[in-house]
Structure 1
Amino acid sequence: MIMATCLVLFLSVFVWLGARAGASHIGLGSRLLARDQNEAWVSDNGTFAFGLTPAANAGDQFQVAIWFADLPGDRTIVWSANRNSLVNKNAFLELDTTGNLVLIDGERTVWMSNTSGAGITSASMEETGNFILHTNNNHSAWQSFEHPSDTLLPNQPLTVSLELTSPKSTSQGGYYSLKMLQQPTSLSLALTYNLPETYDASPEAYANFSYWPGPDISNVTGDVVAVLDDAGSFGIVYGESSNGAVYVYKNDGDYNGLESATNQSSTRLAVLRRLILETNGNLRLYRWDNNVNGSREWVPEWAAVSNPCDIAGICGNGVCNLDRSKTNASCTCLPGTSKAGGDNFCAGNSSSIGGCDSQNENKTSEFRISSVQQTSYYFSDFSVIANYSDIPTVSKCGDACLSDCECVASVYGLDGEKPYCWILRSLDFGGYEDTGIHLVREG
């Protein structure tokens, strides 16, 4: 992956708990209705609830979710089955007689656990925040911890086959993920921006960009698991006996260490915490505090990224700008692009095929050059069409882009005294303020 810091030529383009429906034992045939918000399946001590709850900012739409059941204010959701496919008030959730947990909206099956015929006899909402489907020998055949959404709870393992994902952008469909990336000789925990599904015909290397690397783990045997422990430390546990640990964040009050997090407890924790991959691409740890200037609320303890402009895609294909405090960001759109929807993303034709028509013929005469000051861009290796070392000037680097059918931008700079010119097919991971001078190719 490359972060360019030089000249760019761009082609425009109250708290609820009214009724506990089978808190400790949920039998086959049990059902919850979206229209009845006094019903949910609740853990024994009332910490978590599982059911249908209204989706935020979505009108009369609902999602299957797990939330903190006994906290005041709006429900804090820690897991969702259908956040990208909401249902109406006539929908219902049922653990049917075949052992399948299924969400029905009218004639449509929206979501299911796919456990029909697996010997399921009951379900339970655990004090850990894990919802489990049990067989007759009390074996776990399905659990929400193995299908995470955007939140990691204490002692919830994030294995190499799992990932946290943020909700998709309402305007352009991009989203963020936290997962282990396989390197040639190691595993690396990383935050990644993923382009919308409209890019599914493109190679994976082009469709995502990792902007925050966690620790690398190499030359180990046994499982490698990212985990948040009871004391609020977050890191990676590895080895045959989970006896190795690398911290991403260590809480000062953590005396037992990350290794203890692999032993899940069924009792309520003294302090409630959650690690969430937010819609803005940051990974943030929160602690519930019962006395914040007389209020009870979630308090942030740690964030993976301190500078929001270090997050790829935070402005779509626009440029992220920091205020004087260096903590708040705004987005500036480049010529040929504009803000789309309500999430501040810039969108436009930078993702299209340069100046090509359907016969792959060039239309360079339709474009002109304008300047953009102090801007750099994130782009993947795959975005580089060509890398020239024999183009001596900015204008000639721009000409090289204009003459290439696929080019949407070019980057010119000096490596010491040696010039280079990159010809790019995309700037869709966005940009940020920097000291470079940039030219924008506008049509």
Structure 2
Amino acid sequence: MLDTGNFVLYDSDHNVIWQRFDNPTNTLLPGQPISAGQELFSSASEADDSFGIFRLQMQHDGNIVQYPFDTENSAPYAYYATGTYRAGNNVTLNLDDDGLLYLHNSTNRLRNLTRGGYRRERTIIYMLKIDADGILRVYSHSVNQQNSSVIWSSTDDRCIPKGICGLYGFFSNIDDQAKCLCLPGFDFVMPGNWSVGCERNFTAETCRLKENTSKYYDMRTVENTVWEDSTCVVLGGTTKEDCEQACLQDCNCEAALFKDRM
């Protein structure tokens, strides 16, 4: 175990045959570059270091991008990127021992993500983590006092990571109180574990051909909420009330999105 935090296995000729720094998990330490194709993964929770639901990838095009864990590497799923997608496949993400986080190719430093210049002491360790909430943070950790403080984060908006509330859940951030909520008619599958999502707390009626579902259901509004746009049918020039009725009269409709009078 080296002072850098790297755990290394050597053969009898003192050649490195395996090292922890080549197999990153949720943390990046100084001297541990992330190369093209490598990823960091979030933990399931602060107390559980098993794989969570977010990942950070150093892409072959030179772009650093964050995605939910089980998604394709495509723009609709991304929620953070450095925008360096034309930099080439030799770009690495690096962290220095003064807290400087930056992108580097084989010859030049391309972009600083943090300002760096923090204290260099043997009792202070800087680390980049992708936390359980999906946000990248650089920490300053004091070995003597056994505490950590955030010196940089990819965003201050905890709503940004996609999928943090799981299926049928949505994120609310009111008066700095961040939490996940379930849609009306749904409860958390596992209270306390938002990422598992929500499930119906009622039994859905069978969809009957050509039958008006308004006798079984009513519409409940969730206001000022942004949803992923996966529209099946678009009704033009309609009112909110007309939109509700159109959904209630279609036994295959479970939700309607009304935005900007559309």
TM bin, normalised by shorter chain, reads 0.7 to 0.9
Q: Does the C-alpha gap of structure 1 residues 140 and 204 become closer, same or farther in structure 2, counting only changes over 3 Å?
A: same
For structure 1, which runs of at least 5 residues remain unmatched after alignment? 1-124, 196-202, 256-267, 421-443
Which letter maps to 1:332?
L
Q: Which whole-Å CA distance do the structure 2 matches of 1:164 and 1:284 have between them?
A: 12
Instruction: Report the counterpart of residue 283 of structure 1 in structure 2.
Output: 136
Taking a change above 3 Å as real, the CA distance of residues 219 and 311 of structure 1, as seen in their structure-2 partners, is: closer
Number of residue equivalences? 249
TM-score normalised according to structure 2 size: 0.76
Determine if the alignment matches structure 1 residue 130 to structure 2 residue 3.
no
- Letter of the structure 1 residue corresponding to residue 42 of structure 2: S
How far is 1:318 from its partner? Answer: 2.5
Identity among equivalent positions (%) equals 24
* 1:107-146 Cα distance to aligned partner (Å, 9 max, x none): xxxxxxxxxxxxxxxxxx2222222233444433322222
Choose the corresponding residue for 1:152, options 22, 28, 35: 28
Counterparts in 2 of 1:409 and 1:162: CA distance versus 1, 3 Å? farther
Helix, strand or coil for the counterpart of 1:145?
A: helix
- Aligned residue for 2:63, secondary structure, equals strand
Describe how 1:375-394 pairs up with structure 2 within 5 A. Answer: 375-377=225-227, 379=228, 384-386=230-232, 388=234, 390-394=236-240
Give the match for residue 188 of structure 1.
Answer: 63
Question: Given residue 392 of structure 1, which amino acid in structure 2 is its aligned partner?
Answer: T
Question: Would you say 1:338 and 2:216 are equivalent positions?
Answer: no
Residue from 157, 162, 170 that aligns with 1:319: 170
**Distance 1:228-1:392 versus aligned 2 partners, 3 A rule:** same
1:309-353 C-alpha deviation (Å, 9 max, x unpaired): 2333333342323342x3x41232221221224234541159xxx
Secondary structure, aligned partner of 1:368: coil
Q: CA deviation at 1:413?
A: 2.2
Separation of aligned partners in 2, 1:298 and 1:396: 54
Structure 2: which 5+ runs fail to align? none
What do you get for the CA RMSD once the two structures are aligned? 3.7
CA 141–398 in structure 1, closer or farther in 2 if over 3 Å, else same: farther
After TM superposition, what 4+ stretches of structure 1 lie above 6 angstroms from structure 2?
A: 354-357, 360-364
Check 1:410–1:290 CA distance in 2 against 1; reply closer, same or farther (3 A cut).
Answer: same
SS in 2 for 1:376: coil
User: Larger radius of gyration, structure 1 or 2?
Assistant: 1
Q: 1:250 to 1:319 in 2, by over 3 A?
A: same
| Greater relative CO (CA pairs within 8 A, separation 6+) | 1
**1:252 Cα shift?**
3.7
Q: CA deviation at 1:270?
A: 5.9
Give, in whole Å, the separation in 2 of the partners of 1:232 and 1:400: 56
Structure with a larger share of its residues in strand: 1
Are the structure 2 counterparts of residues 132 and 408 from structure 1 closer, same or farther at C-alpha, using a change threshold of 3 Å?
farther
Q: Does 1:347 align with 2:214?
A: no
